[in-house]
Structure 1
Amino acid sequence: MLFFRRKNNDTHPPADLLAFMSTDIHSHLVPGVDDGVQDVATSLHFIEQLQGMGIRKIITTPHIMMDRYPNSTDTLTTPYQQVQEQLLQRSSPLPFHFAAEYYLDEQFVPLLQKPLLTISGNKVLVEISFMSAPMQLAQWLFDIQAAGYQPVLAHPERYAYYHSDIQQYEQLKKQGCLLQLNLLSLTGYYGKHIQQAAEKMVAAGLPDLIGTDLHHDKHLRAITGIAANSKLRKVLDHYPFGNATL
């Protein structure tokens, strides 16, 4: 069953379009630090657009991938503060914080020796290779939990090597990992097979959280396009995502 059919959507999205989410826990809105927004003005525009669609809190998550985006609290704080200062000048009531999306590989392990940037409490957003399942994944998830954190796996529906067996998602949850679905996966934005995997996960009640994973204007346009799909909106409004608790 496909939730989404592409339609032209020239109308302004309704103010409650993303109200089901309340808190967006996955986006790339710290300017100039990864493949997300590149300037403060764009960051502010995206934040205002999300707020206008019903988002009440943003925890943005720039990449920390040591061989490509070697970010840290030190590299992220100044550009984040530039956005925060502009929000304060505009008297924006929207809470805007930053955490990170950590790429799990051998270079991640030393980072556990220092405090990690969490999306809420002890929850840490992580991602893995899109090419193949890391052989060390179970160990890395154990190490994260042993360090006092709960891993939240970003967009598991986008890892094609899990598509053949939905029980692999169930196994990740048994290993103590929460699953964060990308909103646009349910629209077909990333492709039909990813959409089908996302739909199966939702039907099985597997996702714990959802996020926009907003990087650029094309993502934003696709998000506003959901307004035209009443069937998908009904699914989103009724699924028990845990974002509002964060």
Structure 2
Amino acid sequence: MFHFFSKKIFVKDLLNNFVDIHNHILPGIDDGAKTVHESIELIKGLKKLGINQFIPTPHVMQDYYPNTDESIGDSYEILLEALNKTKLLSDIAINPAAEYMLDHNFEELLKNKGLYTLKKNYILVEMSYYQAPINLEDIIFNIKSQGYLPVLAHPERYSFYHNKLDYYLRLKQLGCFFQLNLLSLSGHYGNGAENTAKYLLEKNLFDFAGTDVHNKNHIIKLSKLAITNKVYDNLKPIVENTNNVFSVT
């Protein structure tokens, strides 16, 4: 009697030379890496998954992480100085950006065009997990009017849309790009986020992907994340598009 076993597929199978456009590896400025040592350990862990291009995106939140060009630049320089003492820097590329909370502070930054872009005119934005801004559609319109392209971080994690799936189409029509958190496919953020991520994948609504790594536990989970053939097939072009648009080398 013969038994046929299909080879397990892992998310990491897609990550060779991946450009990670969403992570928190800069030291000491948000809820990601606390120290330079932690930053380097995260980079080493991600590099083992095949990732060698990084766009760090520290939070910019008025009430919690009021980061500026200066604080982000300082953290980046500290990390580069530490990496220069290792052999890592010759194998990787790092170009910092930011993840902007859509709050009042963001609207002020937008008026002054003082935004750290992922590349060209793409900016990574996020919302509160409790509710969207009341004037969300106006903010998106203003972002576009200023010449930026909004990339909405982890749309699958906004639970207030889980029972209003049609609104994701509205956000796309308004000009939002969608960035998937890879760990959403594992149930790491709950069943609602996982189910919504798979729905958005099936509907081809994601444009880009990122790790959103904050700590070593995230990397361990990523390294073990198995996916179905169907998810793999839906995810592969998104990973490829991310690499094509955001290569930092």
Q: TM-score, normalised by structure 2?
A: 0.87
What secondary structure, in the 3-state scheme, does the structure 2 residue paired with 1:107 have? Answer: helix
What is the distance in 1 between the residues matched to 2:151 and 2:79? 26
Deviates more, 1:141-150 or 1:106-115: 106-115
Deviates more, 1:233-242 or 1:101-110: 233-242
The residue aligned with 2:7 is: none
Assess if the C-alpha contact under 8 Å between 2:62 and 2:103 holds in 1.
no
Aligned-pair identity (%): 38
Equivalent pairs counted in the alignment come to 232
The residue aligned with 1:94 is: 92
Q: Which amino acid aligns with 1:153?
A: L
What secondary structure, in the 3-state scheme, does the structure 1 residue paired with 2:179 have? Answer: strand
The residue aligned with 1:238 is: 236
Assess if the C-alpha contact under 8 Å between 1:58 and 1:97 holds in 2.
yes
Assess if the C-alpha contact under 8 Å between 2:126 and 2:152 holds in 1.
yes
What is the distance in 2 between the residues matched to 1:126 and 1:14? 24
What secondary structure, in the 3-state scheme, does the structure 1 residue paired with 2:26 have? Answer: coil
The residue aligned with 2:69 is: 73
CA RMSD of aligned residues (A): 2.0
What is the distance in 2 between the residues matched to 1:176 and 1:136? 15
Q: CA deviation at 1:205?
A: 0.3
What is the distance in 2 between the residues matched to 1:197 and 1:163? 7
1:183-198 equivalences in 2 (<5 Å): 183-198=182-197
Please give the per-residue CA displacement for 1:191-212, whole angstroms capped at 9, x wherever unaligned: 1111000000000000001111
What is the distance in 1 between the residues matched to 2:203 and 2:231? 18
Assess if the C-alpha contact under 8 Å between 2:45 and 2:216 holds in 1.
no
What secondary structure, in the 3-state scheme, does the structure 2 residue paired with 1:30 have? Answer: coil
Please give the per-residue CA displacement for 1:8-29, whole angstroms capped at 9, x wherever unaligned: xxxxx9974522x710000111
Assess if the C-alpha contact under 8 Å between 1:117 and 1:124 holds in 2.
yes
What is the distance in 1 between the residues matched to 2:157 and 2:93? 29
What is the distance in 2 between the residues matched to 1:230 and 1:73? 41
What is the distance in 2 between the residues matched to 1:184 and 1:16? 14
Deviates more, 1:84-93 or 1:140-149: 84-93
Q: CA deviation at 1:237?
A: 5.5
Assess if the C-alpha contact under 8 Å between 1:61 and 1:99 holds in 2.
yes
Q: Structure 1's 235 and 191: CA in aligned 2 closer, same or farther, altered over 3 A?
A: farther
Q: Does 2:175 correspond to 1:173? A: no
Assess if the C-alpha contact under 8 Å between 1:17 and 1:53 holds in 2.
no
| Ranges in structure 1 where 5+ consecutive residues have no aligned partner | 1-12
Assess if the C-alpha contact under 8 Å between 1:14 and 1:53 holds in 2.
no
1:1-246 equivalences in 2 (<5 Å): 16=13, 18-19=15-16, 22-91=18-87, 92=89, 93-112=91-110, 113-226=112-225, 228-229=226-227, 231=229, 234-235=232-233, 238-241=236-239, 242-245=241-244, 246=246
Q: Structure 1's 230 and 170: CA in aligned 2 closer, same or farther, altered over 3 A?
A: closer
What is the distance in 1 between the residues matched to 2:197 and 2:13? 22
Larger helix proportion, structure 1 or 2?
2
Q: CA deviation at 1:135?
A: 1.6
Please give the per-residue CA displacement for 1:28-55, whole angstroms capped at 9, x wherever unaligned: 1111101111000111111122122111
The residue aligned with 1:9 is: none
What secondary structure, in the 3-state scheme, does the structure 2 residue paired with 1:61 have? Answer: coil
Assess if the C-alpha contact under 8 Å between 2:26 and 2:56 holds in 1.
yes
Q: CA deviation at 1:236?
A: 6.1
